[in-house]
Chain A
Amino acid sequence: MTAPASGLWQRLANDRWVVGCGALLAALTVLALVGPALSPYSLETPDWRAMALPPTTQDAHWFGTDRLGRDLWLRTWHGTRISLLIGLLATAVSMLIGVTWGAIAGYVGGRVDALMMRFVDVLYSLPYVFFVIVLTVLFGRNLILIFLAIGAVGWLTMARIVRGQTLALRRRPFIEAAIAMGVPTWRIVARHVVPNVAGPVIVYATLTIPQMILFESFLSFLGLGVQEPLASLGNLIAAGAAEMEIAPWMLIVPAGVLVLLLGCCNFVGDGLRDALDPGSNR
């Protein structure tokens, strides 16, 4: 965990798979940001001359069009943008809750710790996916709620990891020194505990992003996440699955982008974990 930063980058750069996936991830992000601007069409206006058109270089419909004549290049990259955004924001939410919860439980210890972690255990054993589904159906389907719902689900593992690390930190001399100097508890947690658990937290966060993207796509696939006319990879895949017999590209294009996105995120996360912790050679 205490690897110097330069050594970390060196190890990451040596792993060809991680470098390749990182580059692919960067390319996908750039395409998600500028891709829509390259197309002469607009997100919602159909091209009446080209409905359910296969991918073609003519007419600049590079990924083809859907049944209503909307350009899939545009919609796919818009969807990727939303997926990335939700993945990042939901991860931030889950990190915020998880780190705070875990650090307090681990540092304060005793009965508070037992109570807080028991709460996490109970939530862990619940079928939260079903809760989130019920919630999103019942209380409208806005993006904010989706962020919160997804983020609220992801913090449990984070809390456990941070608590474990904090327990180990609590007996370290520099913490005892801080206690002896009369530093208030919240300040010790914020200034000494949290920065020292940053390594595992960052690793787990990079592995959380694809999970969150996956969960958002899952909700959108069910028709509960991002709503038409907005595009998300999930609802594009759902629309493509309905048309796959006559227009397979409508399924294959967004599915391919989602698979690339998730695969690269996972690879980079794994690589980062190995680089930070060379001992675990999974």
Chain B
Amino acid sequence: MLRLLARRLLGAIPTLFVVVTATFFLIRLAPGGPFDHDQGLLPEIHANFERAYGLDQPILVQYGRYLGGLLRGDFGPSFKYRDFTVTELIGAGLPISLGLGLTAIVCATLAGVLLGIAGALSHRHWADLGIRAFAVLGVAVPSFVIAPLLALAFGVYLGWVPVAGWEPGTLRDALLPVAALALPVAAFVARLMRGSLLEVLGSNFIRSARARGLSQWRIVVHHALRPALLPVVSYLGPATAAVLAGSLVVETIFGIPGMGRYLVQGAINRDYTLVMGMVIVFACLTLLFNLLVDLLYGWLDPRVRIAGTQR
């Protein structure tokens, strides 16, 4: 297990390196620069700005410096938010985004798995139909549609929760954003879980468990659940990506000071270091989650574990 972990962590380094390099040069290729929006800058002052941020150096030197900074954990200064370093901006936004995202994923997985089990056990019953309808609707209703609709229904018409706004630590403010992020994922998980549990329940070892006279409850919890969870677990990787992308939209709609807004704003402002920092953080999160998913997968499915250690 530890060797697998170490190997995967080492394997992530080249991927991250490719991400850093590709983003760095792509941003520089794009037309425009970080100080073009300042009105009426004298050429001398513009040049001074560039010198202050090291932008007058050859691009390879800048690249080397940036990599050097990264190794020390320094993302550099933001070009637009002049008094902040990118590390500070990320430090302020990441906990909020991460908190929302993790809550959404945990809620979505729990709700999805429970609904999926309920659907599979009430196969062809009206409850099953309802759960299937929910699953299909969830696939068709993305976060950026749910978020404003939820705000309209619960914020504007019913007035139960604030339409937007954020006070740290208040549950009411987090309710709608988490729901908007979680619903599409929950729907997909419910669909996967229902399908795979039905398949597992039809397999031979379940039939023999039935023949041994085990109760339905015991069969589901002790025998069927673990293999049936596998597709759900492998979907958690893409689900993380979906929640991260959804957070860009959901944070804008609900006015949450996470880090989602920095990516688009940073790219529009040509805030090179901020965009780099955001892409790196998102890449790390995605890689980390994929790794966690693989470990979880190995824990659930012994065949994967053995194949992993033999290699």
Interfacial residues, chain A to chain B (CB-CB below 8 A): 122, 125-127, 129-131, 133-135, 137-139, 210, 214, 217-218, 221-224, 234, 237-238, 240-241, 244-245, 248, 251-252, 255, 258-260, 262-263, 266-267, 281-282
What residue in chain A is nearest B132 (Cβ atoms)? A17
Q: Is the CB of B279 within 8 A of A266?
A: no
Q: Is the CB of B278 within 8 A of A130?
A: yes
From A126, A138, A223, A245, contact of B286 by CB (8 A): A126
Q: Is the CB of A129 within 8 A of B268?
A: no
Q: Could you name 6 residue pairs across A and B whose Cβ atoms are closer than 8 Å?
A: A126-B15, A138-B267, A221-B144, A244-B148, A248-B152, A252-B149
Interface size counted on chain B using CB atoms at 8 A: 49
| Neighbouring B residues of A126 by C-beta, 8 Å | 15, 19, 283, 286
Given contacts A129-B245, A218-B144, contact A134 B152 (CB under 8 A): no
Q: Is the CB of A127 within 8 A of B195?
A: no
What residue in chain B is nearest A214 (Cβ atoms)? B142
Q: Max chain A CB contacts within 10 Å: which of B30, B140, B156, B287?
A: B140
Does B67 have its Cβ within 8 Å of any Cβ on chain A? no
Given contacts A134-B27, A248-B152, contact A266 B136 (CB under 8 A): yes
From B136, B151, B249, contact of A222 by CB (8 A): B249
- Interface residues of B, dominant DSSP: helix
Does B273 have its Cβ within 8 Å of any Cβ on chain A? no
- Interface residues of A, dominant DSSP: helix
Q: Bound state CA distance, A214 and B285, in angstroms?
A: 23
Q: Which of B173-221 contact A (CB under 8 A)?
A: 191, 195, 198-199
| Neighbouring B residues of A237 by C-beta, 8 Å | 144-145, 148
Does B139 have its Cβ within 8 Å of any Cβ on chain A? yes
Q: Is the CB of B19 within 8 A of A263?
A: no
Q: Max chain A CB contacts within 10 Å: which of B26, B145, B244, B248?
A: B145
Does B18 have its Cβ within 8 Å of any Cβ on chain A? yes
Interface string of B264-296 (1 = CB under 8 A from A): 100110100001001100110111001000000
Q: Bound state CA distance, A126 and B275, in angstroms?
A: 15
Q: Bound state CA distance, A130 and B266, in angstroms?
A: 12
Given contacts A127-B244, A258-B145, contact A135 B282 (CB under 8 A): no
Q: Is the CB of B136 within 8 A of A137?
A: no
Does B137 have its Cβ within 8 Å of any Cβ on chain A? yes
Q: Is the CB of B241 within 8 A of A129?
A: yes
Does B5 have its Cβ within 8 Å of any Cβ on chain A? no
Q: Bound state CA distance, A126 and B147, in angstroms?
A: 26
Q: Is the CB of A241 within 8 A of B248?
A: no
Q: Is the CB of A130 within 8 A of B30?
A: no
Q: Is the CB of A122 within 8 A of B15?
A: yes
- Chain B min CB distance to A255 (Å): 5
Q: Bound state CA distance, A210 and B141, in angstroms?
A: 11
Q: Max chain A CB contacts within 10 Å: which of B26, B27, B245?
A: B245
Q: Max chain A CB contacts within 10 Å: which of B136, B139, B147, B156?
A: B139
Q: Bound state CA distance, A240 and B148, in angstroms?
A: 9
Q: Bound state CA distance, A182 and B22, in angstroms?
A: 42
Q: Bound state CA distance, A245 and B149, in angstroms?
A: 11
Q: Is the CB of A134 within 8 A of B263?
A: yes
Given contacts A125-B286, A266-B140, contact A137 B264 (CB under 8 A): yes
| Neighbouring A residues of B144 by C-beta, 8 Å | 217-218, 221, 234, 237-238
Given contacts A133-B263, A134-B263, A138-B26, contact A266 B148 (CB under 8 A): no
- Chain B min CB distance to A231 (Å): 16
Does B253 have its Cβ within 8 Å of any Cβ on chain A? yes
Q: Bound state CA distance, A48 and B244, in angstroms?
A: 41
| Neighbouring B residues of A240 by C-beta, 8 Å | 148
